[in-house]
Amino acid sequence: MQWNLEQIRLFVAVAEERSFSAAARRLKRVQSAVSNSIAMLEADLGVQLFERSSGRQPRLTEAAVALLEEARAVLQQCERLEGRAMGLARGEEARLRLAQDEAMPYQPVLASLEALAQAFPLLEVQLASGAQGDVARKLLERRADLGLLFHHEQMPQALERQRLGTIEMVTVCGAGHALAVQPYADRRELGRHRQLLMAPQDSHYPGGEQISPLVWRADSFYAMAELLMRNLGWAWLPRHVARYPAYQGQLVELRSDWTPPPLVVELVCRRDEALGPAANWLAGSLAEHLQHIG
């Protein structure tokens, strides 16, 4: 088949205008050129696309109806190709990979990604979520371009970070735990019960101070919440995790004299790789949506 994109464009125009002359005016062609192109397209495809009667508007044949959406899809794909090429010529990324801590508040992230889709409609986005350590690891292994995580002291030197906001921590236990009925749980009382902490022990992760002699560790705030619901101890959790809808009525926030400082949310990237326009745009949007969380 020797058909070309110009013929496809003319076919779609004639089908939409129901007129060779109107299609010619729309695409700034002479009518004879439009008619000849459609005739060659029909010959190349081996099917008749329009029923032509003297003095009457051309009517789409059954074959034309069946092929019209395919033709539109071809033109749309060409527009995407041209748009992607223009973006690459301007230095825009073809793909942006964002890795985030699974306990990150989802609403600010989704709002930023929704805005990104409007600003860069042709950009391919890959979103990955993981437990503590996964985000930095993906960046170091060049499997992510941007990372959204909670600050901890042992950040690899190869990564550069930017503070975006903070998230309040709360002291939590299961509804059936002995602490749940206490009006107030001071440090001494908390020390009498099993404490759930983030792993590993040497991560210097926020809220990592051990005040109980009996400790269990997990690498996920959500895994800790599941253990808490089974009354296996108490823990410090981000407030939005403790109030996750699935945990309503099963977790209790305790009044206590000791709560760790807020979690600091950071945007992280590699020092040796410059961010493209889309990544910089997303970084600004995330900063705007996350700066007031807590």
Strands ordered across the beta sheet of 195-198: 215-218, 195-198, 234-238, 169-174, 251-254
pLDDT digits (tens, 9 = 90+) for 197-253: 987 655 555 567 889 999 999 888 899 999 999 999 999 999 889 998 999 999 999
Q: How far apart are CA 205 and CA 153, in angstroms?
A: 7
Give pLDDT, residue 80. 65
Q: How far apart are CA 68 and CA 72, in angstroms?
A: 6
Give pLDDT, residue 122. 86
95-165+264-290 to CATH, choices 3.40.50.2300, 3.40.190.10, 3.90.1150.10, 3.30.70.2390: 3.40.190.10
Give pLDDT, residue 100. 92
Show me where the domains of the chain are located: 5-89, 95-165+264-290, 169-261
Give pLDDT, residue 292. 59
Question: Which amino acid, 176?
Answer: G
Evaluate whether 5-89 and 95-165+264-290 have a shared fold. no
Give pLDDT, residue 171. 94
Query: Regarding beta strands 215-218 and 169-174, do their DSSP bridges make them parallel or antiparallel, or are they unpaired?
Result: unpaired
Which H or E element spans position 264?
Answer: strand 263-270
Cβ atoms < 10 Å from Cβ of 269: 20
Q: Is the dihedral of CA 217, 188, 247, 102 positive or negative?
A: negative
* Rounded CA Rg of the chain: 30
Helix H segments across the chain?
A: 5-17, 20-27, 31-45, 62-89, 106-119, 134-140, 187-190, 221-229, 239-242, 277-290
Evaluate whether 68 touches 15 at the Cβ level (below 8 Å): yes
pLDDT digits (tens, 9 = 90+) for 166-199: 888 999 999 999 999 998 999 999 999 999 998 7
169-261 to CATH, choices 3.40.190.10, 3.30.540.10, 3.40.50.620, 3.20.20.480: 3.40.190.10
Give pLDDT, residue 86. 59
pLDDT digits (tens, 9 = 90+) for 73-132: 888 788 767 655 655 565 668 889 999 988 888 888 899 999 999 999 888 999 999 876
CATH architecture designation of domain 5-89: Orthogonal Bundle (1.10)
- Quickly tell me which residue has 């081996």 as its tokens: 46
Q: How far apart are CA 274 and CA 174, in angstroms?
A: 45
